[in-house]
Structure 1
């Protein structure tokens, strides 16, 4: 057995991570990691959360998400403050730490913001690919115009080459206009419109990606057109009527959803209004149709009809960060990229 040099740690900064991520099949990796999770070849433990109010009055938090994928073990530390956009900084930033599987010593520390955003978008696009024909998608809406919208836009541009219309909305109108301007410049054949409101964006799109910071549900069932797909990445954009009334409801991991007391779907589950996959629907409520691993494996037998409304409600799993970070670290080792730091 050849052990790595235990006297050093490789550090990959944001530029290193961005270069190493380029060309990675992020969507396929997200898809395959969830299947590995289903086979118990990848896993995670409960996250730890530290929350506080900043001196300026903004809500802030630090999350630690341990996980493993194959022979890669580590954790993501992802921090965020809702006041960061007022300071001209991204809402979230963090680190991923990878450990040697034999000695358990840390072997790599990398900037985690790009990893976190990419794995999140990768899961979203993998889920979309499982329920719709991405090549047939013509219109997409984004609720929220921050980093997550940017990265989702990157991956969707590759997965949905037939998109001709994009609608964006953000409570900060300036951010929406700036994102629209960047996308118009990058994709001149696509009409990018700043919608007057969230409903105007959702109603006109076949696919909506919600990437906001709201804690107040507001997107109702009748906002989503027949055949629409709503990807509820952020906390609570989808209202009760949408979660309970959509034709298909998918989550990445039911236990994570139930254990969370910050999101509406978890609150509905604890109130006996929503049951997990494979369970009978409670009276006046519903059951989640399937987990994403079950959907990806082909276990979910009910067809998604062209006119069905679909909601994908991913919680976010640290195992995805570890799988992507491990792929980045492998590339760094092959290419000799990174700063060597003394232990």
Structure 2
């Protein structure tokens, strides 16, 4: 504690979930993610996740000091099993020059926005530059947001979607037929969606945590996007597919290799995952060349605080420009040590 304390020069902004919904813009988020990952890896800036867990309440904190942008901060994911499972998300942003609190952002929708934006950036580095047949496994929020994001960085020739619920896959087909202007068909199995696809989007968790697709369905030169196995206990892709893969691009190398159930299972099955997995940063910086036309190429995501912070900063900038959000009546003091 010190008496040498300064009030913030500008009171912080609070963005609600509704504010984030109104401000969400995939192109801006994609630009922010691309800039953030177009810098060398620095683990001191992005130390990974911190967990606190009482078995009744838990908190996951994802801090980041991005090399890009003007702000730094952390996202906290806060859960309680007191009444079922209830979860809230909060992003706090601070000024790099003054350490002043700049904004508090409801992170509920930011998670989906930054995940789709990062997937778009990662997929653009490994997908062929030609019209693609796309197979989508899943029809929910993640499948929809990722389909939209991928359409901004690749060219679709046709889309096939599978979801266990016919009404959901039909609704997906109707929506994206209108939005994308290409044939979008609802199919009756994951195999029908995946076989012959140039780009496979896996965006559906299995209830028993078994892989949602089989290796034999995937073509020899296909691009596969996997976003649904983010913890050691979750599965989405089979080990046999990683054994066939020429390259795995990871949004966070350590957490993908050591924290994703898919990669843990592949390693246990004898796959040399370290030899084929590279960080997205290296691909964007040109340190790792990618043949976008040959071999199975996989984009694998577990999420990172870096993504939340840079996308939240872009949201705050848009909020200031458009007069959206609530300026808090007070802030926190910044002290000189």
If the TM-score is normalised by the length of the shorter chain, which range does it land in? 0.7 to 0.9
Query: How large is the RMSD of aligned CA atoms in angstroms?
Result: 3.2
Assess if the C-alpha contact under 8 Å between 1:37 and 1:43 holds in 2. no
Partner Cα distance (1:61, 1:140) in 2? 38
Partner SS for 1:151 = helix
Partner SS for 1:25 = helix
Superposed displacement of residue 98, structure 1: 1.5
1:217 aligns with 2:211: yes
Aligned to 2:232: none
Superposed displacement of residue 232, structure 1: 0.8
Runs of 5+ unmatched residues, structure 1:
54-59, 82-90, 277-286
Trace 1:1-343 onto structure 2 (pairs within 5 A): 5=8, 8-22=11-25, 24-36=27-39, 38=41, 42-48=45-51, 63-70=60-67, 71-78=70-77, 94-101=89-96, 104=99, 106-134=101-129, 136-160=130-154, 162-187=155-180, 189-214=181-206, 215-235=209-229, 236-260=235-259, 263-269=261-267, 273-276=271-274, 287-301=275-289, 303-304=290-291, 306-343=293-330
Partner Cα distance (2:200, 2:14) in 1? 36
Q: Is the alpha carbon distance of 1:271 and 1:182 closer, same or farther for their aligned partners in structure 2, counting shifts above 3 Å? A: closer
- Post-superposition CA distance 1:307-331 (Å, at most 9, x none): 4211111221110110111121123
Aligned to 2:333: none
Partner Cα distance (2:54, 2:41) in 1? 31
Partner Cα distance (1:265, 1:231) in 2? 14
Partner Cα distance (1:51, 1:172) in 2? 36
Q: Is the alpha carbon distance of 1:209 and 1:4 closer, same or farther for their aligned partners in structure 2, counting shifts above 3 Å? A: farther
Partner Cα distance (1:224, 1:80) in 2? 37
Assess if the C-alpha contact under 8 Å between 2:238 and 2:266 holds in 1. no
Partner Cα distance (1:219, 1:28) in 2? 31
Higher RCO (CA < 8 A, seq sep 6+):
2
Superposed displacement of residue 46, structure 1: 2.3
Q: Is the alpha carbon distance of 1:39 and 1:158 closer, same or farther for their aligned partners in structure 2, counting shifts above 3 Å? A: same
44-53 or 149-158: bigger deviation: 44-53
- Post-superposition CA distance 1:209-247 (Å, at most 9, x none): 111123212423221113210011111221000012112
Runs of 5+ unmatched residues, structure 2:
1-5, 81-85, 230-234, 331-337
Instruction: Give the number of equivalent residue pairs.
Output: 311
Partner Cα distance (1:95, 1:148) in 2? 20
- Post-superposition CA distance 1:100-151 (Å, at most 9, x none): 44665543122323322122112222122112344x1331122111111121
Q: Is the alpha carbon distance of 1:200 and 1:47 closer, same or farther for their aligned partners in structure 2, counting shifts above 3 Å? A: farther
Superposed displacement of residue 156, structure 1: 2.1
